[in-house]
């Protein structure tokens, strides 16, 4: 037979960190807390809530991560065992509990939890691959467009404004031609890193295609979007990208539109307009930010760079 104190001693010797609750309510609070235990031994008879009640409440309240619960009971009738398992217990031990049996039962529970962790990790990896670009780890084209659609819909309901930025690396083909595609990949990865450091944590940045990047800024009007675009332009052009082939100077041209300037515009229209603004930035000499406005001339915030210096 093993008492609670002896049980704590056995578990500690096995390398477990032991936390105890004096009643059922305390057990629920402990198991449902953030970062709470994932392996639990529950006495069927406890003050307040009994073991099966604790199991039911934990299953109802905490879905992830999974808690493996073992009921300790003097009841060995099949009906009682079934009732305990139906309440949400994963296993049961009949008192008196022997240390060797306790150890192997808990090891079984740990194996199951480890298997669940691996399955969750694999699922998250698949989800990440489905929504992120493999090279830059930014959102991929499909997901950034899906997110843009949601933000446009939300901006109409509330209403609020979103700013849409489309950036394109200047003379990127020349980087690939002169330095090779592996260096070009390094430039794209570093560009993605710099983009992610400039935007807010809740903004969305995606690789739109090739060397183009799409940024969705929730709750931003045209002025705020233009300001953030200038910060991005400066971050990209601020210093050359260190690559295996040596430092490579890089600049970006950026088009900007705000949904509040284009009443009732859908995603397709906003993308058309931001692409026009990007074209204007390229035509203005690159390394520039252009804000697109309905029926107004676009004035580039130009920051020319001597191509003979950039690409010699």
pLDDT in the model for residue 298: 46
Catalytic residue IDs: 211
pLDDT mean over 136-143: 96
Using one digit for the tens of pLDDT, what is the confidence trace for 250-264?
A: 999 999 999 999 878
pLDDT in the model for residue 256: 98
Contacts of 12 (CB under 8 A, 6+ apart): 18
Statement: residue 180 has pLDDT above 50: yes
CA distances from 151 to 51, 133, 156 (A): 46, 20, 9
pLDDT category, 303, cuts 50, 70, 90?
Answer: low
Q: For residues 290-306, b (16+ Cβ closer than 10 Å) or e, as one string?
A: bbbbeeeebebbebebe
Per cent of the chain over pLDDT 90 is 65
Using one digit for the tens of pLDDT, what is the confidence trace for 197-252?
A: 999 999 999 999 999 999 999 999 999 999 999 999 999 999 999 999 899 999 99
Enumerate domains of the chain plus CATH numbers. 4-131 (3.40.50.2300), 141-310 (3.30.70.270)
Using one digit for the tens of pLDDT, what is the confidence trace for 27-71?
A: 999 999 988 899 999 988 888 899 999 999 999 998 788 999 999
Contacts of 273 (CB under 8 A, 6+ apart): 257, 262, 265, 292
H or E stretch at 288: strand 288-291
pTM over 0.85: no
pLDDT in the model for residue 159: 86
Distance CA 194, CA 211 (A): 14
pLDDT category, 302, cuts 50, 70, 90?
Answer: low
Would you say 187 and 250 are in contact if contact means Cβ atoms under 8 Å apart? yes
- Calculate the average pLDDT of the chain: 89
Using one digit for the tens of pLDDT, what is the confidence trace for 263-298?
A: 788 999 999 999 999 999 999 999 999 999 987 544
């Amino acid at each position: 037979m093993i008492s609670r104190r002896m049980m704590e001693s056995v578990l500690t010797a096995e390398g477990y960190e032991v936390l105890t609750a004096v009643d059922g309510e305390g057990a629920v609070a402990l198991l449902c807390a953030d970062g709470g235990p994932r392996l639990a031994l529950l006495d069927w008879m406890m003050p307040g809530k009994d073991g099966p009640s604790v199991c039911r409440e934990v299953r109802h309240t905490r879905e992830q991560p999974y808690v493996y619960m073992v009921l300790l009971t003097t009841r060995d009738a099949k009906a009682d065992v079934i009732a305990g398992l139906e309440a949400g217990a994963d296993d049961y031990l009949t008192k008196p509990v022997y240390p060797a049996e306790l150890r192997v039962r808990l090891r079984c529970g740990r194996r199951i939890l480890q298997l669940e962790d691996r399955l969750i990790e694999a699922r998250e990896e698949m989800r990440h691959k489905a929504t992120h670009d493999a090279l830059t780890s930014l959102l991929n084209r499909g997901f950034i467009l899906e997110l843009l659609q949601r933000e446009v819909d939300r901006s109409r309901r509330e209403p609020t404004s979103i700013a849409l930025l489309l950036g394109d690396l200047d003379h990127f083909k020349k980087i690939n031609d002169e330095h090779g595609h592996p260096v070009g990949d390094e430039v794209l990865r570093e560009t993605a890193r710099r983009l992610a450091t400039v935007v807010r944590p809740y903004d969305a940045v995606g690789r739109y295609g090739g060397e183009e990047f799409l940024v969705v800024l929730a709750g931003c009007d045209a002025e705020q979007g233009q300001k953030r675009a200038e910060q991005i332009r400066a971050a990209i052009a601020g210093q050359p990208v260190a690559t295996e082939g040596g430092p490579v100077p890089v600049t970006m041209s950026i088009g900007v539109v705000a949904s509040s300037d284009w009443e009732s515009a859908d995603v397709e229209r906003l993308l058309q307009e931001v692409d026009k603004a990007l074209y204007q930035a390229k035509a203005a000499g690159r390394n520039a930010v252009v804000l697109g406005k309905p029926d107004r001339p676009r004035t580039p915030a130009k920051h020319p760079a001597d191509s003979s210096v950039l690409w010699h």
